[in-house]
A = this chain, B = another copy of it.
Amino acid sequence: MLTPFRMDTNSLYLTEQLNLLGVDVIFKSIVGDDRRRLVAAAQHGLFRSDILIFSGGLGPTEDDLTREAVAEALGLSLRRDPEILARLEKRFAERGWKMSANNAKQADVLEGASVLPNPNGTAPGQWLSGEFDGREHTIVLLPGPPHEMKALFEAEVRERLRAKVPPAFLAVRTLKIAMLGESAVDARVAPIYKRYTDVETTILAGAGEIELHFKNIAATVDAAQRRVDEVAGVVEDELDDAVYSRNGESLEQIVGYWLQMRDATVAVAESCTGGLLAERITSIGGSSRYFLGGAVVYSNALKTELAGVPAEMIERHGAVSREVAAALAEGIRYRCESTLGVGITGVAGPTGGTPEKPVGLVFHAVATTTGTEVVQRNFPGDRKRIRRFASTMAMDMVRKKLM
């Protein structure tokens, strides 16, 4: 984390999880792979906090120093656990590899610590509760790779921590909104959330999506939940059908939910989004129940060949046009025999824009039994943002058709 390259997503996840347990995060330190500095950070943390969570530095390389540094800071020894060692050797053998000697250090466990199995990686986590520096402390070692860390936290750490901390009840609600601007949303909802001073409201804006987070801490679960539900409800009334999600679900999940509710299927024909729309819809497990398939039609020939857009239509109106978007949606719907067909064509940039058809211009079409709707938008930003906007817009159109 001390390179310019890596985003620190682990600490965001841990902060969220700790907040949900009623625990405030007061300090984060990012320390390089240097034993002396790691020891100093651990000692400083012991002095300052009741719960210390370390993430990373549990691997097999020489730079993986967390176990040694924490042991030194706590004045504990490390014991090599024969069970972990056996499991490591088995893991390597199953893959037909020989385990190199450096891997053995992953079996080193802090004196008195419980081993937390890591099904997604070689290095297990560790949990240690006891008196250090004259005070009760809980020390947790977690692996660094986010998918290993999260799975381990959920399976092994969350409930152990809950048992350690005084019961405080945090309730959160998230509303998600598509295709409205941040300042437009804020102007409409600020008068509402300012009335609820005990509920903390945060607005986060992404490309085409806005999240409103409501948070309240109270003496009982019910009291906390009642407060966030009340403010979320009033905000939702104000924003009406622009709110696509009430409980944190993603737009991809919501589109899948509505397609299944309506016993409908969808197929897509994408040009400028290049597969992003299909990728987002199919990011949901079980999406094969409602997503049949689609075509990514960059070249004009393929718009005709795979999605049945008449070549003379492209000739007359251009590939980026209201007509071609509609023909893509209708063509792929016919071809795939799906309930809905989606077509996207536009200019994602950075090149390819013209004065009449600038970078950011996108046509989105949704075809159903009753006809085809086309929406034109001019999106700001770079290629990545434009593609993200366009795929969000298309999914939001599908959602509104099904509601």
A residues adjacent to B (C-beta < 8 A): 1-9, 11-13, 15-16, 19, 24-32, 34, 37, 40-41, 44, 48, 59-61, 63, 97, 100, 103, 120, 122, 145, 147, 182-184, 186-187, 190, 202-205, 211, 213, 267-268, 270, 273-279, 281-283, 285-288, 291-299, 301-302, 305-306, 335-337, 348-352, 380-385, 387
A148: min CB distance to chain B, Å: 10
Contacts of A267 in B (CB 8 A): 302
- Chain B residue contacts of A27, Cβ below 8 A: 2, 29-32, 37, 41
A37 touches B26 (CB 8 A): yes
Collect the chain B residues with CB atoms within 8 Å of residue A383's CB: 283, 285
Tell whether, in the assembled complex, residue B278 and residue A296 are in contact, meaning their CB atoms are under 8 Å apart: yes
A183 near B103 with CB under 8 A, answer yes
- Min CB gap A357→B, angstroms: 15
List chain B residues, Cβ under 8 A from A298: 282, 287-288, 291-293
How many Å lie between the Cα of A380 and that of B97 in the bound state? 16
Bound CA span A1–B7, Å: 13
With a CB–CB cut-off of 8 A, which chain B residues contact A380?
A: 120
A204: chain B residues at CB < 8 Å are 3, 5-6
Q: Is the interface of A mostly helix, strand, loop or mixed?
A: mixed
CB < 8 Å neighbour of A183 from B13, B16, B60? B60
Check B287 against A382 for contact (C-beta < 8 Å). Answer: no
- Further contacts, 11 of them, CB under 8 A, given A6-B204, A274-B279: A3-B213, A4-B16, A27-B30, A267-B302, A274-B278, A274-B283, A275-B275, A275-B279, A292-B301, A293-B298, A294-B295
State in angstroms the CA–CA spacing of A267 and B221 once bound together.
54
- B31 pairs with A3, CB closer than 8 A: no
Contact, CB under 8 Å: B15 / A4: yes
Within 8 Å CB of A294, what residues of B? 275, 295-296
Contacts of A297 in B (CB 8 A): 293
Decide if A2 touches B29 in the complex (CB within 8 Å).
no
Bound-state CA distance A203–B6 (Å) is 11
Are B282 and A296 closer than 8 Å at their CB atoms?
Answer: yes
Q: Which residue of B lies closest to A332 (CB)?
A: B306
A30 neighbours in B (Cβ, 8 Å): 11, 27-30
Which residues in B have their C-beta under 8 angstroms from that of A59? 182
* Residues of the B chain whose Cβ atoms lie less than 8 Å from the Cβ of A32: 24-27
B202 and A3: CB pair below 8 A? yes
A15 touches B2 (CB 8 A): yes
CB contact between A26 and one of B2, B282, B301 (< 8 Å): that residue: B2
Give 8 CB contacts A-B under 8 Å. Answer: A2-B15, A3-B213, A44-B44, A122-B183, A275-B282, A295-B295, A299-B336, A301-B337
Contact of A147 among B2, B6, B19, B382 (CB under 8 A): B382
Cβ of A274: which chain B residues have Cβ within 8 Å of it? Answer: 278-279, 281-283, 287, 291
